Amino acid sequence: MEQEIKEQQEAVSALQIKCPSCGGAMMYAPRTKNLMCVYCGATRDLSLEPAEIHENDFVKWAAKSEEEQAKMVEEQSMAAQQVKCDQCGATISLDATKSSTNCPYCGTSLILEKADVKRFWQPEYLLPFAIDKKDCTKLFDKWLNGKWFVPSKYKNGNVVGEKFQGVYYPYWTFDAHTTTSYRGERGDDRHVRTKGSDGQVRTETVTDWHNVSGTVSRDFDDVLVPASKNLPDRIINGLSRWELESLVQYTPEFTAGFTTDVYTIDFKEGINVAKEKMEAVIDDDVREDIGGDRQRVNSKDVFYSDLMFKLVLLPLWIGTFKTENHTYQFIINGRSGEVYGDYPIDKLKVALVTICCIILAALVYYMIFS
């Protein structure tokens, strides 16, 4: 019981950053990049100096038993008050500056009485918010206005994005050195003039194929893999511009006033996703190494070495907007302002574009072969 009370106090203390002037709660302010008291407005500076990054050895961690891993995580863990959303199942850490809150993923009111204290692997680094909540509406309008297929009635501020919530989303980053042996075929095109039965001379392309083999190497740095399943892949993977060179050492001060998502994907599961991303790049390297006009990759054997990883938090503004019969979700990169998500499609516009493309293709065909 005493241990439970101690962890409860530790969790509350970690979430509550008290103002030195009035004792009230402070929260991180993205525009001024410091802590600001929600009561008296007093500020406190934070260090934004990029952290000296130290990675974790993947092989070392993966080779340990579950008990050994649990002990190592315990040494790097922190206590936090967490609550699970009854509607969508998302598990998040609570923000001590709010007496009530909604789930950032589905908008459902969270039952704070169901919160409990758990220990989890403390993130090692984070990227602080630089985009303020007040900037979100302008970024959302600009993004929506740039989508040609969105019905016109939803543009120019006619739809208001709702319930913007700032969330620190967990990611694993992976580093690796790769050496890949491959076997394939190189295709070299040559043009052959032939005469058809109608007497017309035509030029045809013939490809000569040759067996090839070789080896390519590539280093990967900070391949990002989401460590939570609370956002669908089609949305969370849409953001790409992250300033990872600006990561700072994790401290609770940067998360004050924001929701922190809890990682639910283990690092050993995350490496499989990272390897898929790496091998897509390696495939391009192999094709470039094969050369020629066309390439066939029949087999490749990738050897990974110097596998390293770390857990980081990246800033997202999560929002929704509603039409007559549907709710659309989108996210905003809390650093760059990049927006990605779902939006309505005007079927009439799609049909018009399709018809225009068919007409244009018919005209081109007529001009070439008539």
Does residue 67 form part of some domain?
yes
Does residue 370 form part of some domain?
no
**Is there a contact between 329 and 342 (Cβ–Cβ < 8 Å)?**
yes
Q: Is the pLDDT of residue 257 over 90?
A: no
Q: How many domains does the chain have?
A: 1
Cα angle, residue 52 at apex, residues 269 and 179 outer, rounded to 5°: 50
Task: Quote the pLDDT of residue 205.
Answer: 87
- Residue whose tokens read 């040494």: 75
Does residue 280 form part of some domain?
yes
Model confidence at 299, pLDDT cuts 50, 70, 90, reads: very high
Cα angle, residue 227 at apex, residues 117 and 124 outer, rounded to 5°: 70
Task: Quote the pLDDT of residue 159.
Answer: 59
Does residue 91 form part of some domain?
yes
Does residue 214 form part of some domain?
yes
Does residue 38 form part of some domain?
yes
Which residue did the predictor score with more confidence, 75 or 7?
A: 75
Q: Mean pLDDT throughout 309-324?
A: 89
CB-based contacts of 8, cutoff 8 Å, min separation 6? 79, 81, 117
- Residue whose tokens read 């739809």: 159
Count of CB atoms within 10 A of residue 46's CB? 16
Cα–Cα distance for residue pair 366/370, rounded to 1 Å: 5
Q: Is the pLDDT of residue 14 over 60?
A: no
Residue type for position 247: L
Q: Is the pLDDT of residue 307 over 90?
A: yes
**Is there a contact between 58 and 223 (Cβ–Cβ < 8 Å)?**
no
Q: Is the pLDDT of residue 262 over 70?
A: yes
Q: List the beta bridge partners of residue 178.
A: 218, 304
Q: Which domain holds residue 114?
A: 2-185+210-353
Does residue 75 form part of some domain?
yes
Does residue 191 form part of some domain?
no
- Which value, in Å, is the radius of gyration of the alpha carbons in the chain? 27
Cβ neighbourhood burial of 71 (10 Å; 0-12, 13-18, 19+): exposed
Task: Quote the pLDDT of residue 328.
Answer: 84
**Is there a contact between 197 and 299 (Cβ–Cβ < 8 Å)?**
no
Cα–Cα distance for residue pair 145/161, rounded to 1 Å: 13
Q: Is the pLDDT of residue 15 over 60?
A: no
For residue range 94-105, list pLDDT tens digits in order. Answer: 665 555 577 777
Model confidence at 214, pLDDT cuts 50, 70, 90, reads: very high
CB-based contacts of 128, cutoff 8 Å, min separation 6? 28, 30, 33, 46, 48, 248, 254, 315
